[in-house]
Amino acid sequence: MVNTSAATARTPDQSAILRWGAAGLAVLALAALCHPARAEDQKIITSHGISTFGDLKYGPDFTPDYVNVNAPKGGEISEWAFGSFDSMNPYSVKGTSAAGSTFPYESILTGVADEIGASYCLMCTTMDYPEDRSWVTFHLRKDVKFSDGSPMTADDVVFSYNIFTTKGLSDFRTVFNKQVEKVEAPDPYTVTFTFKPGIPYRDLPASVGGLPVISKADYEAKKLDLEESSLIPFLGTGPYLLDRMVTGQTIVYKRNPNYWAEALPINKGQNNFDTVRYEYFADPNAAFEGFKGGTYTFRQENSSKSWATQYDFPLVASGEVQKVELPNGNKANGQAFVFNLRREKFKDPRVREAIGLMFNFEWSNKTLFYGLYTRINSVWENSYLAASGAPTPGEVAILQPLVDKGLLPASILTDPPITAPTSGETQLDRKNLRKASALLDAAGWKPGADGIRVNDKGEVLKVDFLNDNSAFDRVITPYVENLKALGIDATLTDVDSAQMDVRTRPPSFDFDIITGNARAGMEPGDDIEQFYGSATADNSTYNVMGLRSPAVDALAEVVKAAKTKDDLIVATKALDRVLLAEKFWVPQWYKNVYTLAYYDIYAHPDPLPPYALGELAFWWYDADKAAKLKAAGVLH
């Protein structure tokens, strides 16, 4: 056995669902798939974690650098959630799951907030894997307990894997069923995952180690079903469990006083609140008024107008409510207007480009957003993975075979990546209007007698924006007006959150355009297939736009097969160019700070780690400050 501290990642994948050159990258990737090293010829690595590339930052039995190990336990943090909920099952497309409904569940491996691509043992003591990562064995801790005190064993891990790859959200089975050959539990505290031959293995040990683990005995005794909406949570091992709820209105989680991992070094300074509460509001304005009245105590402000104009109430002036901006080192979240590519009218990229030209970000930022935002131009905006300028020789080497096959235009080998159009300071930019008009004309959508565009079948070009946040109406309405000036029959339809869930999830996908996200991790791998792969186009809550692109599918395999950080960067930049060329979105905006308001009863580590705000993980409650606010009648 070779003992190693494994890998220093430089960039984290906090989502932890599925994580996973130079001129010869594509050739090397293919060679690695066709001629993997034999397991008997490889050293077996035993470690307390695994990193995508390089060495892990932390050694065994570590405490993260960014936590306050002396943070007190106690108190409550409360936030708001939008809409309503009718389920405690976050792994089903049925129903609307409650905020925080994943709190009770843990996985064998866990990540940290100051390192990218690193996964550390939580439920395991060590893990074994060969150099090519074609299998992994987890040696489970013998003291892991579910929240009812029953032991967690390898049988629960195998059961959880089998359930998640046969029921519930399709994303797990779409990826794992074609990658995992078998899962075995030779004894109660050992689990081995063996991966199928001929696929990239780089991210698979971390991916399977990131699957949630639930109790087999509880699931079977209660006759639960991962496929169904239910207000009965599954039994997990996490630090928080359901305390009480008013269905659709309030949900409270309490810290498990018998949490099995409370004393582990990795958990020092974390899970500090006794309770975490969410209050639901159907309207953002009502939610803001609720915050001012003390209904909840911690708020991330997502409205630039509110941030610029509404935080002038007395509690802010007195300092009893803190209004702060804290740095956010994450990539932009990819917020965008997203097309439903399953609709025939959106299959022509000229139509999508024309619609994109009519959103005037510059006017919106000045008039509506108080100049607080920056335009998104890349799926990996605000990171070193964003494509820019002409492709490098390494990118060309990856893209050339796809051009040769007719999957991409030759221009992608020489031109800068496609970016969002710029507009003038008036709401309707005439230059972009003319360009968009020419695109629609060329696509066969000509103005009719009434100025509304129709095709040769007499069908009207109608575009509807589906929206469940009334505060966003002020952004969409001017966009609708611009589209009408182009001759598009554009409308805005407001729905409640329950309707939004039904209409944007499989199997219905009943929308034209919604506000969504172009998702991506900082060390992309299998997540690309989840978010953009053809295999998930009709059955995923992530690939909501329904993207089907052979070029993207091919590049996803190159990204997964990258052997070094440099190779991954080159492959991801090439992929970014192709995703931008698909024009499945109208990119919106981002800012690189958290805009927060909270009652002055909380404290946090300073500085924060780069990749997480962590208010529920490593902030804490200041009982002395809370007592003063209560004595003053500010809090109840």
Residue 338 pairs with which residues in a beta bridge?
514, 585
State the number of CA atoms in the 13 A half-sphere of 409 facing the CB.
10
Whole-number Å distance between alpha carbons of 463 and 486: 12
Instruction: Determine contact, residues 396/25, Cβ cutoff 8 Å.
Output: no
What is the pairing mode between strands 44-47 and 446-447?
A: unpaired
Whole-number Å distance between alpha carbons of 31 and 198: 10
Per-residue pLDDT, 12: 30
Question: Within a 10 A sphere around the Cβ of 118, how many other Cβ atoms?
Answer: 31
Q: Which domains does the chain have, with CATH numbers?
A: 2-69+86-221 (3.40.190.10), 343-446+453-590 (3.10.105.10)
Whole-number Å distance between alpha carbons of 134 and 458: 56
Whole-number Å distance between alpha carbons of 203 and 19: 6
Per-residue pLDDT, 453: 98
Cis-peptide into 507, omega within 30 deg: yes
DSSP 3-state of 592: coil
Whole-number Å distance between alpha carbons of 544 and 500: 12
Helix axis angle, 430-442 to 349-357, nearest 10°: 170
Whole-number Å distance between alpha carbons of 527 and 541: 13
Instruction: Determine contact, residues 558/485, Cβ cutoff 8 Å.
Output: no
The two counts, helices (H) then strands (E), for the chain are 18, 29
Helix (H) or strand (E) holding 467: strand 462-467
Whole-number Å distance between alpha carbons of 147 and 256: 7
The separation between CA 378 and the C-alpha centre of its own chain, rounded to angstroms, equals: 16
Whole-number Å distance between alpha carbons of 59 and 4: 9
Whole-number Å distance between alpha carbons of 99 and 66: 26
Contacts of 103 (CB under 8 A, 6+ apart): 238, 239, 240, 241, 253, 276
**Dihedral angle sign, alpha carbons of residues 468, 471, 474, 475:** negative
**Across 7-87, where does the E strand assignment appear?**
44-47, 49-51, 76-82
Helix (H) or strand (E) holding 300: strand 298-300
Cis-peptide into 607, omega within 30 deg: yes
* Residue of 582, 579, 462, 467 whose CA lies nearest to 514: 467
Per-residue pLDDT, 4: 32
- The DSSP code sequence of 382-449 is TSTTS--SSPPHHHHHHHHHHHHTTSS-GGGGTSPPP-PPP--SSSS-HHHHHHHHHHHHHTT-EE-T
Per-residue pLDDT, 540: 87
What is the pairing mode between strands 180-187 and 212-213?
A: unpaired
Contacts of 531 (CB under 8 A, 6+ apart): 518, 519, 520, 542, 543
Per-residue pLDDT, 25: 33
Burial 121-145 (b: 16+ CB within 10 A, else e): bbbbebbbbbebbbbbbbbbbeebb
Whole-number Å distance between alpha carbons of 392 and 395: 5
Whole-number Å distance between alpha carbons of 141 and 466: 48
Whole-number Å distance between alpha carbons of 162 and 16: 18
Q: What is the mean pLDDT of each run of 10 residues along the chain (636 residues)?
A: 30 31 32 42 94 96 98 98 95 93 98 97 98 97 98 98 91 84 98 96 96 98 96 98 96 97 98 98 94 97 95 97 96 96 98 98 97 96 96 98 97 97 96 98 96 96 96 96 98 94 94 96 91 92 95 97 96 98 97 97 97 97 97 92
Question: Within a 10 A sphere around the Cβ of 228, how many other Cβ atoms?
Answer: 13
- The DSSP code sequence of 118-165 is EEEESSEEEEEEETT-SEEEEEE-TT-B-TTSPBP-HHHHHHHHHHHT
Contacts of 374 (CB under 8 A, 6+ apart): 589, 590, 591, 592
Per-residue pLDDT, 40: 60
Per-residue pLDDT, 224: 96
Instruction: Determine contact, residues 110/306, Cβ cutoff 8 Å.
Output: no
Instruction: Determine contact, residues 59/15, Cβ cutoff 8 Å.
Output: no
